[in-house]
Amino acid sequence: MTTDAGFWTVAIIASALVGLSKGGLPVVGMLAVPVLALAIPPVAAAGLLLPVYVVSDMFGLYAYRRDFDRRVLAILAPAAVIGVALGWATAALVPERLITGIVGAIGLAFALSLILRSARVATRPARIGPGLLWGAVTGYTSFVSHAGAPPYQVYVLPLGLSKAAFAGTTTVLFAFINAVKLVPYWALGQLSPGNLKNAALLAVPAAIAVFAGVLFVRVVPQVLFFRLVTWALLLISAKHLWSAAFA
């Protein structure tokens, strides 16, 4: 178990971001791996955070046990399993530097899309075809770096779900995806005893943050909050793209 103060500082911040995402603020979760990757390699960061995600999922599922959209889950969940399988099959072929670049590119593209968006996307029904595509991409990016939120939101945001239904559907889907990811992460050696010990400690701030996220969804003006998070994501993602290109 590491005792490095710098590592634990960013690890606690990352675990709190995981908890906030499970509390209904999914875009915040995208910051977790990039933040922790400031201290350890991205692959190791993703492996360490997966058990934290799983524990946080339990609290999130309780908080949103009555708020989710069954049709959206029925479309996205099977496709996400395919995406996870694809991520597992290609894990040994993808170099760490490329993963760093993927993390940065996903975050940067999503942040820019949020910043440049000037009008609300028209509401449309949950269609099966696009859902299967974005569900698979969600599963793949979630497997690679726990960065499934952008493709998921590309599909779900235009559906016009209520705030509670959006948060609950997000929580249920990613709880399912994270449970599926346990087997391939274990097979790839990312769930070592040392990682699990560290993750057990990090689960504490994550669990507390889940309920903080639930409170934020209910009382905090989300426009301002997401604006700050979006700019933070933009800066961190740009840093990782720089590292992937020039490190």
CA-closest candidate to residue 172, choices 15, 83, 66: 66
Given CA atoms 77, 78, 81, 83 in this order, what sign does their dihedral have? negative
Among 43-52, 119-128, 237-246, where is mean pLDDT lowest?
119-128
Cβ burial of 224 (10 Å; 0-12, 13-18, 19+) is exposed
* Domain total in the chain: 1
The pLDDT of 162-167, averaged and rounded, is 83
Q: What's the pLDDT tens digit per position in 176-219?
A: 999 999 999 888 887 888 888 888 999 999 999 998 888 887 88
* More confidently predicted of 56 and 223: 56
Show the DSSP H helices in the chain as ranges: 5-22, 26-29, 32-36, 42-63, 70-90, 96-116, 128-145, 149-156, 163-187, 193-219, 222-246
pLDDT score at 52: 92
The stretch 70-80 carries a mean pLDDT of 96
Averaged confidence pLDDT in the chain = 84
Question: In the structure encoding, which two tokens stand for residue 145, read together?
Answer: 């770096």
Q: How far apart are CA 107 and CA 119, in angstroms?
A: 21
Structural domain boundaries, residue 112 = 5-246
- pLDDT recorded at residue 43: 75
